Structure 1
Amino acid sequence: MIDLYYWGTPNGHKITIALEEMGLEYQIFPINILENDQFQPDFLNISPNNKIPAIVDQNGPQQKPISVFESGAILQYLGRKTGLFYPTDEQSRVEVEQWLMWQMGGLGPMLGQNHHFNKFAKEKIPYAIQRYVTETKRLYGVLDKQLVGQNYVAGDYSIADMAIVPWLLRYEWQSIDLDEFPNVKAYIERIQARPAVQKALSIQLA
């Protein structure tokens, strides 16, 4: 059994998608980030950076519990644990990891800032909006180019795709016209058609 500390954000969806795709048994412990649950001492013991998601695998290494925070690290851990969606040969693994890191270091943070300044900031700051919309469009272009001639970012469906797609689902918040990025549009539709993804995305706590 895996305990998932979760809220219905793109980062939270990454892990429900992985758990559903890998067929792992899990239970959700909601962390209401709107009410600052992420700052509670019990949660900070698991996720010291006070961010969701985090997991506790009750059947970790040597059959002992292990906690993991940071969505990318969780995806890698689950991929190693199950042997699914995370290849073992070095060439293929590097391909997956570089696109996972691209999401963690670029796509997620930049789109998150786009969401903040476009949708949530009380004061509309044109410079900030333009900066993050421009960077969002650049990142969509990078992804669109990567998807030419292939269905998934690293060849086969992987944890990298599980990390990327939840952020793309909020394209309307990002001032993105998907018709400008046809490969990304088809990619979203392809992954959303997967039953495990549909089930994972149906878990909405935000």
Structure 2
Amino acid sequence: MKQSLSGRLPCVCGDDYGNYVAVLYLVIKLLYLANCLAQLVLLGAFLDADYLTLGLAVVSSLSRGRDWRVATRFPRVTLCDFECVLPINLFNETIFIFLWFWIVFVAIVTSLSGLRWLLEIRGFDQLRRENEARVREFTTDYLKQDGVFVMRLVGKNVGEVIAAEILFGLWTVYAKRNALLLDDRLTPFDV
């Protein structure tokens, strides 16, 4: 029941479900996205501007040929005895506009990456369920208890990478003998 539940609900996690790291990774992605949104809100509060839509307003103003002045925090012109242009404020305003575009870019990339991983996790889980019987057959009929034991010994003494390579070679031989290579994505590590 636990495996069935974790297969249908990828947000259920724990050591028993086998998806703790995957769910933790997706939670971290959500925290990254929340960080981006929080930065946009805090910068908007600092600049006394609607910073959530700042870049869109700048692009709209530039496309119409208007002045793209954004923040009242950085005045461009000041009245002294004569009218002064403050180049450092122009520079600061440009930096904050660049930051807006950068933060929005990072938020979009993070969202797309998280969505891609969510879809990959779901696809991998579906592939695992579809091929579980084949892998169980491989371990019980081909490797048998001794083969599994030897593979664990190899893994403990030589290393998991070498054991995985040996296991993959054995799987390829088994799959060719039994014409199981219907799906190129299927490996013994899918279960």
TM-score, length basis structure 1: 0.27
Higher relative contact order (CA 8 A, sep 6+): 1
Structure of higher CA gyration radius: 2
Higher normalized helix content (fraction of residues)? 2
TM-score, length basis structure 2: 0.28
